[in-house]
Amino acid sequence: MIEFQYARATDVADAVRQIAGNPGAKLVAGGTNLIDLMKMEVERPAKLIDITRLPLKQVEDTPGGGLRIGALVRNSDLAYHAPIEQRYPVLASAIKSGASQQLRNMATTGGNLLQRTRCAYFYDTTTPCNKRTPGSGCSAIGGHNRMHAILGTSDACIAVHPSDMCVALAILEAKVHVTGASGDRSIAFADFHRLPGDTPQRDTNLDAGEIITAVELPPKGFARNYSYLKIRDRLSYAFALVSAAVGLELDGDTIKEARFALGGVAHKPWRDPRAEAALQGQPANAATFARAADVLLRDARGYEHNSFKIDLARRCLVRALTQAARGTPQSQSSKKIA
């Protein structure tokens, strides 16, 4: 383990002060990803600023009828928080599908957004990786790339974002509230994570020195017709090969509004308004779902070992849409896919 300095932040302003002007410092909360990366010497902070004692642990109603989730609310607390389970069940379901209960007990809401890719080459400091060492090359293109992206890739990086929670937050159109030396701002969820382009070292549009303070959910929760379906190599405690978060608003069998996003296929949750518009006003059936999946995956491109993901993603999405339309969402304890 590398050696580093350690300090506790006493309040949000103090954390901002401590992180500003110290590019070698990192914030730590749950630590489940950062400490793992520090052990591998992928992350080498000179200083850790412990923010676990900051007052960002509440889930509160917003005046507009939504919920504001403090950045330090633990994943397990959020997944079982009654208003989340009742009003935003797709979010509760997605969280329960990720990691293990021990890790969810540590991991925080803000930290989940800031997870780094689990690409094996990113973790392996003996191999080139543009995300870890910009300009060194991508070992996954032409390497073992079964787990890698099929959408939004670049010649510099084909890594995927590992979060399940973020796939649900994408369709809920959450807002990420951040603060920094130049003040507060909020970032639409679709704009929070980045595609790799030629700067894969930047996962998000959070500026250096900014801190996530909360994630806000708008009122619309799709509590009646939703599903989070995750396909992986074993039934629990594994990252997604592909996953789909779905929310539908139905009028009888007619789709008034559809929102869906894929996980495990890109550098960020993959959502496309054109694919969702293809379902608007259409009957909720397998044929229309398949057409929407074709639109969503129209630019998908496989690499040597992951081309199977294209068809798997299409089928996963159609199945999740079917589950949502029937009002029979995927269970995260019974693994039978109905």
Partner 1 sequence: MSESFTPVGMPLTITINGVRRSLSVDPWVTLLDVLREQLELTGTKKGCDQGQCGACTVLIDGRRVNSCLTFAVMYDGAEITTVEGLAVNGALHPLQQAFIDHDAFQCGYCTPGQICSAAGLIAEGKAKTAEEIRELMSGNICRCGAYTNIVAAIQQAMGRS
Q: Which residues bind partner 1 (CB under 8 A)?
A: 1-10, 14, 17-18, 28, 31-32, 35-36, 39, 48, 50, 52, 76, 80, 99-103, 105-106, 235-237, 332-335
Please identify, using beta-carbon distances, which residue of 2 and 287 lies nearer to partner 1. Answer: 2
Cβ at position 299, least distance to partner 1 in Å: 34
Please identify, using beta-carbon distances, which residue of 105 and 282 lies nearer to partner 1. Answer: 105
Please identify, using beta-carbon distances, which residue of 124 and 311 lies nearer to partner 1. Answer: 124
* Cα distances (Å, whole numbers) of residue 281 to 138, 154, 192, 227, 249: 43, 35, 30, 20, 10
Cβ at position 206, least distance to partner 1 in Å: 21
Cβ at position 84, least distance to partner 1 in Å: 14
Please identify, using beta-carbon distances, which residue of 110 and 196 lies nearer to partner 1. Answer: 110
Q: What's the CA dihedral at 297, 300, 303, 306 to 10 degrees? A: -10
Please identify, using beta-carbon distances, which residue of 20 and 290 lies nearer to partner 1. Answer: 20
Q: Which stretches within 183-285 are classed as H helix?
A: 189-192, 273-277
Cβ at position 283, least distance to partner 1 in Å: 34
Residue 324 backbone dihedrals phi, psi, to 5 degrees: -65, -45
Residues paired with 104 in a beta bridge: none
Cβ at position 319, least distance to partner 1 in Å: 20
Nearest-angstrom CA–CA distance, 249 and 255: 6
Q: For residue 174, which of 163, 158, 182 has the smallest C-alpha distance?
A: 163
Q: For residue 69, which of 153, 204, 168 has the smallest C-alpha distance?
A: 168
Cβ at position 162, least distance to partner 1 in Å: 13
Please identify, using beta-carbon distances, which residue of 99 and 275 lies nearer to partner 1. Answer: 99
Residues paired with 263 in a beta bridge: 243
DSSP string, 55-94: S---EEE-TTS-EEEETT-BHHHHHT-HHHHHH-HHHHHH
- The DSSP H or E segment spanning 250 is strand 242-251
